[in-house]
Structure 1
């Protein structure tokens, strides 16, 4: 009896080693459909690569660091991405199980009653391998390879979602800070215009100022009041959006301070490197390539379907008419049932499946190339904006200083009776617009740093180590 079980075990072990190389086409990475250099010339010198900078090193604001940590722990979209990875891992485990024989033990009893009333019983115990496919043409191996690439692609999607979430939290934080600064500016402007309106009312009552001056002052005050109401609602919406990203309610102490002049990221310039660097670091590009490799492996499985499929079923055990005789000498039994299935006529099913696999591979190539082009554009756009945003901020700062001086001169001329109140109101409106423009320019500069960090695969090394 023991020799039969040993023979069956040896048979199962030999089946594990059976198989051949996959019939999938040799994978070759498609040529990159983008330029070899960025459209905007890059400065030379020692610059840090975004992929090597962890997000805690890049984002220096303590409040923002706390919010990002909370988002990584509580954001529901990221949680779904993590669960998708676990699901893909389990699916790969299911597919991988097909490459190994399934060994099962069984025990049973069969009772039969003859016409004369005689009852016979048969007790059996078996250990066997059921319908194990000899992977002579690599069909199972190709399916395993495809499942592995899909699992890895899902993990790439998780890493991409994590990088995007970090950038979204940072962008939301900066936007909230800028809108809070706009709100504070609107409050100060409203107070100033209300003071001007009261002054104009006194002057108009004394016959010094015209009704037109009064109406202009009223319009300016109402405009500021409208801006204040709109920005109050906008700040509340910004806070709600940030809470959704973080995944939990936030306290007032966690909101950013109003202002865009304090940087929340490191000031060192990021190295854009070469476009090929993006292919090596961005998880979304890697995900597209994994999908392409899975489609390539599926071609091997479709090709193998044209060849014979051999499966083996074998078992060994004991049988006895009495329960206590199962393991007595001479009670052993065994069976061996190989099966060969050769496709002869399938109405073109295998050919159609092979065509589908080839088309799926071509689709995956196009999607991979599009992912590269999208990544190239993300970086190129961020670099183009970076080249001019510093100039915009500096120009806007000069504009604010000039309009402040113009307002001072207009108020002095009005007090001396040289100009009407309209000149002062016009100078106030110009200053208000210039100050808003400065807030927008500073916000755009901060957001650009975050966008470039994300586009260059910022923090990808940290996401890999976290997984």
Structure 2
């Protein structure tokens, strides 16, 4: 007699495989099939032997050993990445909880009941103490998923978990680029600081010469004061860049998540001009749809789509089962005798008749949420396309900027040398020397800035193409 309810339960359980969620179809990417032409067009043509940037692990893209060690250190210690991993673990557990609703919860129970019956309530007028024992297994309130409500909720929970996994990849990509940018920025400011110190030493020497010439009556007081202003300007820059270096180090320590060993710090930017690797960007259709933030938006869209199935299933009856099989006796020794077998099978159906439009409103909300997720998915693709296009546009001209800045620095250096020679021979005033020195100093600072911009543009391009998650 116990086989029939269990067989019926199994049959109905296997029948609960339907889903009322709309069939998912990936929205078309609302962007062109190729990157924009223009100054970046030559740079965006991939060579046949090149691997797309997004497929290059960060250990291969960042070739500077010190930078590699810093990135590895940040992946172990950064708190933002740690929170992202914990969020992923949390949603994995929530998915497992939701998935468990697809299966019956079987519990084993055993009990002892002792009671005394009052004399007036007992037969024969004599009360007494009675004992009863029971043991068994049972299924309580298991919902037969005939219309896919539980399955849709399980699918939604799975998509939420997969979205958090992509969110973790996005955080890692951002973290890798932040460490690289902070490392390069620190190197550039250290180089600016050293340049300011070298300039101060040169200006102090020029001031001593001007003072000697002034005391000898060869130079004017104006020349001496102009030399003094150059010394003071260099001192101001030293103080400013000293502060900037300290702040850069603080920023690097924060993004790494721990103290940075001294031997991993950069010495200057010039030593790291080949710290990153160049590669082809790939095609938009291959690159954009593989970016973690876009995959995250798509999983959110799939979750919203699955939620429609759960909202639709709410319009249909819900069937729950309660069943148990066991033994009962008034004596412990007779508990497992054949005649003491007991079972119950209690299916229950709930049919929505009138709920004030709640189910209709829930379906409307689920449908609108799906439409919002579609728009967010498309916006994520458009934003990603714009980020890559901007990076490629800068990449197409940054080498020319660096070359032009190097030429400008060389020309101003020669101008400064000639103006010094003319001043020392008495042909020109010290004002020309001062102007030439300021131009050279500005050109040298500009060269550092342009080199930093070139390296940062390569790091940014690597990031926006989805590189760094491996």
Give the TM interval when normalised to the shorter protein: over 0.9
CA distance in 2, matches of 1:340, 1:292: 32
CA distance in 2, matches of 1:178, 1:286: 35
Aligned to 2:322: 313
Aligned to 2:414: 405
CA offset digits 1:118-146 (Å, max 9, x no partner): 12222111211111111111101100110
Are the counterparts in 2 of residues 33 and 372 from structure 1 also a CA contact under 8 Å?
yes
Q: Does 1:192 align with 2:202?
A: yes
Are the counterparts in 1 of residues 21 and 308 from structure 2 also a CA contact under 8 Å?
yes
Aligned to 1:134: 144
Selected match of 2:232 from 204, 222, 235: 222
CA distance in 2, matches of 1:189, 1:171: 27
Aligned to 2:70: 67
Selected match of 1:18 from 15, 20, 41: 15
CA offset digits 1:207-226 (Å, max 9, x no partner): 33223222222222111111
Deviation of 1:402 (Å): 0.1
Are the counterparts in 1 of residues 323 and 344 from structure 2 also a CA contact under 8 Å?
yes
CA distance in 1, matches of 2:277, 2:344: 75
Aligned to 1:77: 80
Are the counterparts in 1 of residues 46 and 282 from structure 2 also a CA contact under 8 Å?
no
Q: Does 1:257 align with 2:259?
A: no
Q: Does 1:346 align with 2:355?
A: yes
Aligned to 1:27: 24
Are the counterparts in 2 of residues 279 and 286 from structure 1 also a CA contact under 8 Å?
no
Q: Does 1:89 align with 2:92?
A: yes
Deviation of 1:185 (Å): 0.4
Q: Does 1:285 align with 2:297?
A: no
Q: Does 1:337 align with 2:340?
A: no
Aligned to 1:110: 113
User: Residues 352-431 of structure 1: matches in 2 within 5 Å?
Assistant: 352-431=361-440
CA distance in 2, matches of 1:323, 1:249: 68
Q: Does 1:441 align with 2:450?
A: yes
- Distance change >3 Å, CA 284–CA 144, structure 1 → 2: same
Are the counterparts in 1 of residues 64 and 272 from structure 2 also a CA contact under 8 Å?
no
Deviation of 1:321 (Å): 0.7
Determine helix, strand or coil for the equivalent of 1:271: coil
CA offset digits 1:283-314 (Å, max 9, x no partner): 01000000000000001100110111111110
Q: Does 1:233 align with 2:235?
A: no
Selected match of 1:452 from 456, 461, 464: 461
CA distance in 1, matches of 2:46, 2:294: 26
Determine helix, strand or coil for the equivalent of 1:330: helix
- Distance change >3 Å, CA 78–CA 44, structure 1 → 2: closer
Determine helix, strand or coil for the equivalent of 2:182: helix
Deviation of 1:323 (Å): 1.4
Aligned to 1:172: 182
Are the counterparts in 1 of residues 187 and 269 from structure 2 also a CA contact under 8 Å?
yes
Deviation of 1:114 (Å): 1.3
Deviation of 1:8 (Å): 6.0
Selected match of 1:295 from 304, 329, 345: 304
Determine helix, strand or coil for the equivalent of 2:15: coil
Are the counterparts in 2 of residues 146 and 298 from structure 1 also a CA contact under 8 Å?
yes
**Bigger Cα displacement from structure 2, 52-61 vs 403-412:** 52-61
Deviation of 1:257 (Å): 2.0
Deviation of 1:18 (Å): 2.9
CA distance in 2, matches of 1:279, 1:267: 21
CA distance in 2, matches of 1:371, 1:302: 27
- TM-score scaled to structure 2, two decimals? 0.94
CA distance in 2, matches of 1:438, 1:261: 14
How many residues end up aligned between the 2 structures?
A: 457
Are the counterparts in 1 of residues 269 and 452 from structure 2 also a CA contact under 8 Å?
no
CA distance in 2, matches of 1:128, 1:436: 79
* Unpaired stretches in structure 1, ≥5 consecutive residues: 463-467
- TM-score scaled to structure 1, two decimals? 0.95
CA distance in 2, matches of 1:79, 1:264: 30
Deviation of 1:438 (Å): 0.4
CA distance in 2, matches of 1:311, 1:127: 17
Aligned to 1:465: none
CA distance in 1, matches of 2:340, 2:208: 112
